[in-house]
């Protein structure tokens, strides 16, 4: 489900968006950060949170379509295992261009995803949804802080 409009906002992108792409083998599954592999920061953080990336979708945002603020939107469908590519557990990360945009995006995410955990850190808004949202948000927030040294603030 894609939300567009002035919101379309959310989630695991800059430290999770210096995080793009697949590893050298073209594998988008969550590999760990050890052993010299080429996992993106997002993949490493999600793997360190004890989750697998079942699939990933990335959308570059054209400012002319939604206005200023949101620059990149990445969806990670995650699970302890990946029986399918799309799982009910989603981590959506939006990378924004300013602190004001982050604050606005976090408020919009809270409204758009009332049964989710919304977190922020730096230029990111991270929305965690699904049946394991609380455990996944806690694990990802801890792994993010450990990997980047930046704290994660829970908005809702």
Secondary structure (3-state) at 90: strand
Secondary structure (3-state) at 26: coil
Q: What is the pLDDT of residue 43?
A: 87
pLDDT along the chain (156 residues), means of 10: 32 39 38 47 91 91 63 93 93 92 92 95 95 97 95 94
| DSSP classification of residue 17 | B
Task: Determine the Cα–Cα distance for residues 82 and 60; give it in Å rounded to an integer.
Answer: 26
Distances (CA, A) of 12 to 35, 66, 86, 151, 152: 23, 19, 17, 14, 12
Listed by start position, the domains of the chain span: 41-154
Q: What is the pLDDT of residue 62?
A: 58
Q: What is the pLDDT of residue 145?
A: 95
**What pTM value is reported for the model?**
0.74
């Amino acid at each position: 489900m894609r939300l567009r409009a002035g919101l379309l906002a959310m989630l695991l992108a800059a430290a999770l968006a210096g995080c793009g792409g697949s590893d050298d083998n073209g594998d988008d599954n969550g590999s760990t950060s050890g052993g010299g592999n080429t996992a993106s920061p997002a993949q490493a953080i999600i793997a360190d949170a004890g989750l697998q990336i079942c699939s990933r979708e990335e959308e570059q945002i054209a400012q002319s379509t939604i206005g200023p603020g949101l620059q990149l939107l990445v969806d990670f469908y995650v699970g302890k295992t990946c029986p399918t590519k799309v799982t009910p557990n989603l981590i959506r990360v939006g990378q924004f261009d300013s602190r004001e945009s982050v604050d606005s995006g976090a408020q919009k995410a809270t409204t758009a995803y009332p049964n989710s955990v919304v977190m922020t850190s730096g230029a990111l808004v991270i929305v965690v949804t699904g049946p394991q949202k609380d455990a996944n948000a806690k694990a990802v927030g801890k792994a993010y802080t450990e990997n980047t040294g930046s704290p994660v603030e829970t908005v809702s």
